[in-house]
Amino acid sequence: MSTTTSTEPARGAEVTFALKDNGTATGTVTSAYTAGGKLRVSIRAGGTRYTRTASTVTVTRPAPPETEQPAPRSFGQTPGQPAPNAGKKYPAEPLTPAEFQSLLDQCSRRAPTGIRNRALLTLLYRSGLRISEILALHPKDVNLDKHSIRLLRTKSGEPQTRGFHAGADDALMRWLDKRSALGFRDGPLFCTLDDGPVSGDYVRGLLRRLAARAGVEKRVHPHGLRHTFACELEQSGLTVTEISKLLGHSSVAITALYLNHMTSHQAIEALQSVDLPPLS
């Protein structure tokens, strides 16, 4: 069944629109965005790319839900099998601001999924939330005025209120606007284009793909953004107690483990300014 829409069709959907010669083109959406009140859609049909600015397009086949698309074998675990890194421990590799920005630069600023992914990753980076916590959020859980987040599902099992930095405001508000324009009212804050839940495997695979495209050679994963958040807070002068509260840790000792590698890094930097006896 075909439907006519004035909203941005999802990437991967099959659509039909009119051409200048009064003909029509039908193909798969490669990008879609709204500019100046007009819908602009690019499709690929028979090896040719067409771009059309119009008030409406006809969707002849919607894009498959993201949660139903299996992740490539190299970017995620095989369904029904343990994760490849199950039971293994890896050293923390916090990202630099430039490395995180390079990841964001790989996300579209116009496509709905790109706007959503930019908001999701930015909030992970600026709040230190666990992946399970951020994917359980609903819009009502986020207070933009107070920069606070109400978590009902936490690792401790107890509800918590956490904070997020104002640096996430722009990306988050843009996704909230886009989410509303798509007609989503209830359900998870970060949802698929059919208003379903985004999976943790999708986010882990997304980060691997973005890192590969951006040339970031570190192991990039959701919990690594939590480590990055903690390290940047310490570098900014927050105490371990304050950082512990923001991360929702049950004790300061756990937070100290997060920051242990930072102590070594700062000690190495301090070493360069020490005057030691010269060697002959």
| pLDDT per position as a tens digit, 164-175 | 999 999 999 999
Q: Which CATH architecture has domain 3-61?
A: Roll (2.30)
What pLDDT does 69 receive?
Answer: 40
CB–CB of 159/248 below 8 Å?
A: no
Contacts of 68 (CB under 8 A, 6+ apart): none
Report CA-CA distances (Å) from 105 to 18, 81, 109, 118: 32, 32, 9, 9
C-alpha closest to that of 18 among 4, 37, 33: 4
pLDDT along the chain (280 residues), means of 10: 70 76 76 65 74 76 55 40 58 87 93 96 96 94 96 82 95 95 90 91 94 92 92 89 91 83 64 80
Burial of 279 (0-12, 13-18, 19+ CB in 10 A): exposed
CA 227/CA 92 separation, integer angstroms: 7
Residue type, 262: M
What pLDDT does 111 receive?
Answer: 93
**Residue positions annotated with a catalytic role:** 130, 155, 223, 226, 249, 258
C-alpha closest to that of 191 among 208, 176, 173: 176
CA 34/CA 7 separation, integer angstroms: 8
What pLDDT does 18 receive?
Answer: 76
Strand partners for 149: 142, 162
CB–CB of 256/156 below 8 Å?
A: no
CATH ID of 91-266, from 1.10.443.10, 2.30.29.30, 3.30.70.260, 3.30.390.10: 1.10.443.10
C-alpha closest to that of 26 among 15, 42, 13, 40: 15
Query: What is the pTM (predicted TM-score) of this model?
Result: 0.66
Residue type, 121: L
C-alpha closest to that of 193 among 70, 72, 64: 64
Structure tokens that stand for 41 in this block: 């859609």
Name the DSSP class of 13: -
Name the DSSP class of 242: H
Ordered by start, the domain boundaries in the chain are 3-61, 91-266
CA 218/CA 98 separation, integer angstroms: 13
Structure tokens that stand for 85 in this block: 């890194």
Structure tokens that stand for 34 in this block: 């709204």
What pLDDT does 21 receive?
Answer: 66
If residue 253 lies in a helix (H) or strand (E), which one and from where to where? helix 252-271
What pLDDT does 53 receive?
Answer: 75
